[in-house]
Structure 1
Amino acid sequence: MPPFFKQKKKKNTEKQNRQNGDKKEEENKSEEEQNEPISASLSENMKKLSERFGNSADVVIRRLKIGKEELPAAIVYIAGLVDEQLVSQSLLEDLIDIPSVQPEQAVCRMYEKTIAVGGMKEEQKWKSLYAGLMAGSTLIFVDGADKALIASTEGGERRSIEEPSTQVSFRGPRQGFTESLQTNVSMIRRYIKTPDVWVEKMKIGHETNTDVALMYINGLCEKKLIKEVRSRLKRIDIDSILESGYIEQLIEDEPFSVFPTVYHTERPDVVAGNLLEGRFAIIVDGTPFVLLAPALFIQFFQSVEDYYSRFDIATSIRMLRVLIFFISLVAPAIYVAATTFHQEMIPTQLLIVIAAQRETVPFPAVIEALTMEVAFEILREAGVRLPRVVGSAVSIVGALVIGQAAVQAGIVSPAMVIVVALTAIASFATPAFDMAISARLIRFVFILSAAVMGFYGLILDIIIMFVHLCSLRSFGFPYMSPLAPMSSGALKDSIFHAPLWANEKRPGLLVQRNNRRQGRNQRPKPETSRGMVNKDIKEGDGNEKT
C-alpha cells in the first residue's frame, strides 16, 4: 500500500478512536449525572429539573406549603401523562392536610400514613425520578429532605377498546388490543385466570425507555425457550423502540428470509390460545400488535374463527387457504410458462382462443405479466395510503379502468388480466398479511424463472423455496413442523383441524411436559337415544294429565 494511503488510513483510525472516546465520555458523564443523588434544597432540585427538561411547557411544577409549619414542597408531573383529577383531588388534598412534621420526617410520614394514592415509593437518585416522571408518575419534593416520593398517577387520554381492524372474525370476541401495555396485559389475564401467567417487564431503548413485557405460562413454556428470548431481548442495544416491529427485526432467527418467523396479532383471544400451547408473547407499550413465537409456517394460514367453528368447516377452509396461497404464488408464472414454452399442454380450443387474443399484443407474455403485476401493486399501495372513504373505490375503479384500457389498446390480452386479477384476489384471502407480502415478492421471481426456463425453472424455484422453508427456525423450532419433521400428534391442528374433543394433548413440539389439555373420552355421548327421549316425553304427558 502506498505511503499516502497508509497515512490517510492512520488519520481516519485516529479520528474514529477520538470520536468513540468522546462518545464514551459523554455517556459516562450522562450516567454519572443521572445516578447523582438529589439535594436537600428544594430550590436546587427544582432548578435542576427545569434545566434538565429545558423549561418545557408540559412539565408542571406546583409549589405549595404543607403542615402547620408551612414547609415548602412541590409536586412535579408531565401534563397529558397523568390523571390530573387524581392529582388534584387525592394527592394535593392529602398533602395540604398533612399534620405537623419536621422536614426530615415529612417524606416518611407521607409515605406511611398520609397519602392514600397507591404505588408510592421513595427514591434518592435522579435516574429513578426521571424514569418515574416520564412514565406518568408524580414527584413529591419537600424542602430539607434528601429523598423524594414517586406517586403512581398514570392516566391521560387513551384509545378505548375496539374491534381489531386487521383480523376481523365473523365469530368470536369483538375486542382488540390498544396502545396501553397495562390494558393489553389485563385483557389477556381476563382469558387465562391463573397465577401461572407470569409477566416480566423491562425497558428497551436509550432515549425512548419503552416498556416491553414478556408473558408466558409457567410450566407450559419451556425454560430453555424463555431463557433464549430473555437473552435476545437483553442483548438489544438501540436508541428507540417505537413499535413491536423493531423488536421483531432484532430477535428473529432469519433476518434475510422473506418469510416471517415471528407472528403478530391484535386479538387477545389469539394470544391466550397461543400461550396455552406453550408459546410466549412480547407486548410493547405504544402499539396494539403483540408478538408471538415460536411461529410455524402453517400457523399463518390459521384464523381465530377456526377454533370457534365445527372441525369439518374449519378443515375445508384451511385447505382452501393453502390452495389460495399457492395460486397467488404460481398463477402468473404458470401462464407465462405455458404460453411461452409449453403450448402443447394447453387444450386446443383454449390455445386457439389465447393465440387469437395475443395476436395483436406486441409484447411477450413475461412483459405482460410484469406490467400488470406492477400496475396492480401500485394501485394496491395507493388504496392503502388514501383515506378510507376513497381508498377502496380508487383501487377498484382504477383496476377496472386500467385493465379495460390496456386490453382495448392491445397492450395486454384479456386472459392475462383475468390471471392477474385472480392472483390479486387470492393474495387478499391469506389470513396473515406478512405471509401475503412474502407471496407478492416471490411471485416476481417465479415469473422471471418461468420466462427463462418454463416449467423447469418454475419447479426448480418451488423446490428451492421448500428447501429454504425446511431450513428455517423460529427460536430453534423447525419452521415447517409438524409437516417437516413429521409429528403425528401435532397434525391434528395443522392443515387439518381435528374435533375439539379429539385434541387431548397440546402440540408435542412446543410442550414437552404437562401437555395434557383435557380429560380422556371427551367425545359427546348422549346417555339417551332419540327413542328413549320420545318415550320419556310421552310418559311425562300422561302423568301430567293424570
Structure 2
Amino acid sequence: MPIDKSSEKPRKKPGSLSGRVGQAEQVLLPDFDINIERLHRFLGRGEDIVCRTLQHRFYGNTRYALLYIDGITDSSAISTILLGLLEDTHYKTGSDSGKSNSLYHHLTQQSIVFGKLFEVNTIEQAGYAMLEGSSVFSLLAPVTFFKFFQSSDDYYQRSHIATFLRIIRMVSFFITMLLPSLYIAITTFHQEMLPTPLLISLAAQREGTPFPALLEAFLMEVTFEILREAGVRMPRIIGPAISIVGALVLGQAAVQAGIISAAMVIVVSFTAIASFVIPAVNMGVAARLIRFVLMILAGTFGLFGVMSGLMILMAHLCGLRSFGKPYMMPVSPLVVSNLKDVLLRVPWWAMRKRPVIIADSSNEIRLGGSQKPRPDQEGA
C-alpha cells in the first residue's frame, strides 16, 4: 500500500465548511489505492461496504472502482452503472472522471447541456461513488437536477440557513437563464408592462443606441464570455483582475460611445454575477447556453417565445434519466417524503426516509421513531 500523503494541503472551495475537521482525510489524491483506503476510513470496513474494481478494456490500463453500501442503495442501478459506463467504455486512451462524464453523456445521447453525473474532489455521501485511475475527482451517481444546487456545506449549517442558501442558488439560476431575455422581450414588445417613469428613463437611454435590444444583449454577453474565458486562461494571480477590470472598462467605454445602453450593462453584469452563485460548474454552463436560445426567442416572439422555450425545457428535463432514475425526482414523479431535502433542508431529525433515487425500497427508513429533540420533562 503506498504511503498516505494525508499531510498534503487539501484543495477545497473557498469558504467551505465541509471537512473542516480532518479535512485532509476527505480530499481525494491522484492515487487510486490511497483513495480507496480513504473511502473505507470514511465509510467503515463493514461487510456491507462493497467495492467493485474493474480494469479498462483497451489501452491505458485505467482502473475503476464502484463503491456503495449493500442493503441501503438500490441494487437495480448497479448493473446500469457497470454496463452503462464502466464495462461498456470503448474509450481507447487513458481515462479520468472528466472524460467518463463526457463519454456517458455521449453514450446516452439524452441531453446536450444538462449533466447527469456529479463530480467532486472530496468524499461525500451519495448512492454510488466511482473512482477512476489517478483522477483526483470522483463521480457520484445517480443524480437529479436539484443535486447541482446543493452543497456539502448545507449539512454543516443550520437547516434554515441552508434552506435560505439553496433558495438563493435556485433564484440565481433563473436570473442567469432568464433576465436578459425578459429585458429584451419587455423593452421590445411589451413596453406597457413597465411603469411610465421607468419606461421614459429606458427610452431616453436607448435614444442614441444604434442597435436593437437583442443585438445589444448579444454583444455584451459574448464580450463577457470572452473575458470570462480569458480570466480562466490567464495566470491565476492576474486572471480575475483582468476579467473584472476588462468588464468595467469595456462597459463604461461602450456606454460613453453610445453603442450600448446603461440599462443593458446593468442587466448583463447582474446576470454574470448570478451565474457564479451556482455551485456546480456544468449547471452554470447549461444556464448560460440556454440563455442565448431564450434571448433569440425573446427578440423574435417576445414573452410568448420565452414561455414556449421554458415549456419545452421543462418537458425535456422531465424526460431525462440518470442511470435509469428520473432526473426531476422527487418533484416529477412526486415523492412527498423526499421534498424535505430538495429546495428546503429540514433538520436531520425530520428526514426519516432515505432519498428514493438511491435507497433500496426494502430499507428506506433512515431514522426510527421520533428523533425530535425535546426539553426534559419535570419528573420524567
- Whether TM exceeds 0.5 here: the answer is yes
Cα distance in 2 for residues equivalent to 1:370 and 1:160: 48
Question: What TM-score, normalized to structure 1?
Answer: 0.65
Residue-by-residue CA offset, 1:90-109 (whole Å, 9 max, x unaligned): xxxxxxxxxxxxxxxxxxxx
SS of the equivalent of 1:439 reads helix
Provide the residue aligned with 1:378 in structure 2.
Answer: 226
Cα distance in 2 for residues equivalent to 1:461 and 1:518: 42
Using the TM superposition, give the Cα deviation of residue 197 of structure 1 relative to its aligned residue in structure 2, in angstroms: 1.3
Using the TM superposition, give the Cα deviation of residue 468 of structure 1 relative to its aligned residue in structure 2, in angstroms: 0.3
Cα distance in 1 for residues equivalent to 2:18 and 2:100: 31
SS of the equivalent of 2:211 reads coil
- Are positions 1:202 and 2:49 aligned together? no
Q: 1:426 to 1:210 in 2, by over 3 A?
A: same
Provide the residue aligned with 1:463 in structure 2.
Answer: 311
Amino acid at match of 1:438: A
Using the TM superposition, give the Cα deviation of residue 351 of structure 1 relative to its aligned residue in structure 2, in angstroms: 0.7
Using the TM superposition, give the Cα deviation of residue 201 of structure 1 relative to its aligned residue in structure 2, in angstroms: 1.2
- Aligned pair partner of 1:526 in 351, 369, 375: 375
SS of the equivalent of 2:170 reads helix
Provide the residue aligned with 1:240 in structure 2.
Answer: 93
Asked whether the 8 Å contact 1:204–1:240 carries over to 2, the reply is: no
- Aligned pair partner of 2:116 in 239, 247, 261: 261
Cα distance in 2 for residues equivalent to 1:369 and 1:163: 40
- Aligned pair partner of 2:103 in 232, 250, 253: 250
Provide the residue aligned with 2:80 in structure 1.
Answer: 228
- Are positions 1:192 and 2:40 aligned together? no
Residue-by-residue CA offset, 1:18-72 (whole Å, 9 max, x unaligned): xxxxxxxxxxxxxxxxxxxxxxxxxxxxxxxxxxxxxxxxxxxxxxxxxxxxxxx
Q: 1:315 to 1:506 in 2, by over 3 A?
A: same
Using the TM superposition, give the Cα deviation of residue 171 of structure 1 relative to its aligned residue in structure 2, in angstroms: 4.9
Cα distance in 2 for residues equivalent to 1:391 and 1:179: 26
Q: 1:372 to 1:168 in 2, by over 3 A?
A: same
Asked whether the 8 Å contact 1:254–1:261 carries over to 2, the reply is: no
Provide the residue aligned with 1:312 in structure 2.
Answer: 160
Amino acid at match of 1:227: S
Asked whether the 8 Å contact 2:352–2:367 carries over to 1, the reply is: yes
Unaligned runs of 5+ in 1: 1-151, 533-546
Asked whether the 8 Å contact 1:325–1:426 carries over to 2, the reply is: yes
Using the TM superposition, give the Cα deviation of residue 193 of structure 1 relative to its aligned residue in structure 2, in angstroms: 1.3
Cα distance in 1 for residues equivalent to 2:370 and 2:247: 54
Amino acid at match of 1:209: N
Cα distance in 1 for residues equivalent to 2:37 and 2:377: 43
Cα distance in 1 for residues equivalent to 2:351 and 2:152: 17
Residue-by-residue CA offset, 1:183-206 (whole Å, 9 max, x unaligned): 222222222114211111112152
Provide the residue aligned with 2:330 in structure 1.
Answer: 482
Using the TM superposition, give the Cα deviation of residue 166 of structure 1 relative to its aligned residue in structure 2, in angstroms: 4.7
Provide the residue aligned with 1:170 in structure 2.
Answer: 17
Cα distance in 1 for residues equivalent to 2:57 and 2:278: 34
Cα distance in 1 for residues equivalent to 2:18 and 2:128: 25
Cα distance in 1 for residues equivalent to 2:178 and 2:166: 19
Cα RMSD after superposing both structures: 1.9
- Are positions 1:515 and 2:364 aligned together? yes
Amino acid at match of 2:103: L
Asked whether the 8 Å contact 1:160–1:178 carries over to 2, the reply is: no
Provide the residue aligned with 1:13 in structure 2.
Answer: none
Amino acid at match of 1:193: G
Aligned length: 370
Asked whether the 8 Å contact 1:298–1:494 carries over to 2, the reply is: yes
Using the TM superposition, give the Cα deviation of residue 509 of structure 1 relative to its aligned residue in structure 2, in angstroms: 3.7
Amino acid at match of 2:256: Q
Provide the identity percentage: 42
1:88-103 matches, within 5 Å, as none
Using the TM superposition, give the Cα deviation of residue 520 of structure 1 relative to its aligned residue in structure 2, in angstroms: 1.6
Cα distance in 2 for residues equivalent to 1:516 and 1:484: 21
Q: Which structure has more RCO (C-alpha within 8 Å, separation ≥ 6)? A: 2
Pair member with larger Rg = 1
Using the TM superposition, give the Cα deviation of residue 372 of structure 1 relative to its aligned residue in structure 2, in angstroms: 0.3
Using the TM superposition, give the Cα deviation of residue 255 of structure 1 relative to its aligned residue in structure 2, in angstroms: 4.9
Residue-by-residue CA offset, 1:123-173 (whole Å, 9 max, x unaligned): xxxxxxxxxxxxxxxxxxxxxxxxxxxxx7x57x97964333457513543
Asked whether the 8 Å contact 1:202–1:212 carries over to 2, the reply is: yes
SS of the equivalent of 1:389 reads coil
Using the TM superposition, give the Cα deviation of residue 381 of structure 1 relative to its aligned residue in structure 2, in angstroms: 0.4
Residue-by-residue CA offset, 1:331-375 (whole Å, 9 max, x unaligned): 000111111111111111111111111011000000110000000
Amino acid at match of 2:328: M
Asked whether the 8 Å contact 1:158–1:180 carries over to 2, the reply is: no
- Are positions 1:439 and 2:302 aligned together? no
Using the TM superposition, give the Cα deviation of residue 388 of structure 1 relative to its aligned residue in structure 2, in angstroms: 0.8
- Are positions 1:423 and 2:275 aligned together? no
Amino acid at match of 2:17: F
- Aligned pair partner of 2:177 in 329, 336, 339: 329
